[in-house]
Chain A
């Protein structure tokens, strides 16, 4: 019973959020290595950015002197991620038009 109540209290604990962030980072790195298409790697890069956001928010909520700092950082990260996604998708479309493929193995013109 005590255990159940402690689990229900998880949202008041900073390490919960830090572990969520670490998990998202691990998934992102794993996916970046496993996915073979550019779009799949883009999706996993979003996870890495989200991990950074969660960490900023957790530190701001539990430790930092200024209450809104983590939210500001997260909003900036969101803006950067949106810009990055827009650019990346347009690059992918341009690449697909030239190569008829988005597999990273096929994009080897600069390969030594």
Chain B
């Protein structure tokens, strides 16, 4: 029988640190799934944003398990702390009172199952691809040691051009957001 997980030598005991880490990992995955379901299914936008925040909190845990605590911290700061709050403010400023309009069109009855099957097809296809493919590990593969040093070195040497461009993009985003939000106000 094909093993459920990748073979990694010995399996951890239930009452060891690795077993406890496995339980924590299952909890983070549960957070990701439940948050995504809440965000996608709920009709009210405030609940969708709450689901987004829950999902991204769990995703920060997943990043932690991928040996990059710095990215996990950035996930909490940027997504949970900034993007979710930004979208929540957008909802507060731009949501009409009677926002749940009744589905009166023929198409809107059809769109639910159609979208569900498309999403399920994407999920099934990518999952099958992930499981069936015989992934080759690069010969000089080295997992991250979890320190910020490697990230900083790569960011300021190999990817310094992109780093600078990102700062320009962020500046333009700030100016553009200000201009767009100000226009139309007397």
Place the interface of chain B in its size category.
35 or more
A75 to chain B, nearest CB (A): 6
| Cβ A43 vs Cβ B87 within 8 A | yes
A66 to chain B, nearest CB (A): 7
Chain A residues lying within 8 Å of B123, measured Cβ to Cβ, are 22-23, 25-26
Residues 67-112 of A at the B interface (beta carbon under 8 Å): 67-72, 74-76, 78-87, 89-98, 100-103
Q: Using CB atoms, name the residue of chain B closest to A10.
A: B5
Q: Using CB atoms, name the residue of chain A closest to B16.
A: A8
Bitwise interface map of B from 110 to 141 toward A, beta carbon under 8 Å scored 1, else 0: 01101110111011011100110001111111
How would you classify the secondary structure of chain B's contact residues: helix, strand, loop or mixed?
helix
Complex Cα gap A2–B135 (Å): 25
Complex partner residue of B5 from A13, A26, A65, A82, CB under 8 angstroms: A13
Q: Using CB atoms, name the residue of chain B closest to A51.
A: B126
A56 to chain B, nearest CB (A): 10
Complex Cα gap A67–B96 (Å): 47
| Cβ A8 vs Cβ B177 within 8 A | no
Chain A residues lying within 8 Å of B109, measured Cβ to Cβ, are none
A-B contact pairs, 16 of them (CB 8 A): A5-B14, A11-B65, A17-B62, A22-B125, A23-B32, A24-B55, A33-B114, A35-B40, A66-B142, A67-B143, A67-B144, A82-B83, A83-B169, A87-B173, A95-B94, A102-B95
CB-CB nearest 3 A-B residue pairs? A8-B22, A30-B119, A26-B123
Q: Hey, which bits of chain A sit against chain B, CB under 8 A?
A: 2-31, 33-37, 39-40, 42-44, 46-47, 50, 54, 57-58, 60-72, 74-76, 78-87, 89-98, 100-103
Known: A21-B126, A50-B79. 14 other contacts (CB 8 A): A12-B8, A16-B5, A17-B66, A22-B122, A22-B126, A22-B127, A27-B39, A46-B83, A50-B56, A67-B145, A68-B155, A89-B177, A96-B95, A98-B184
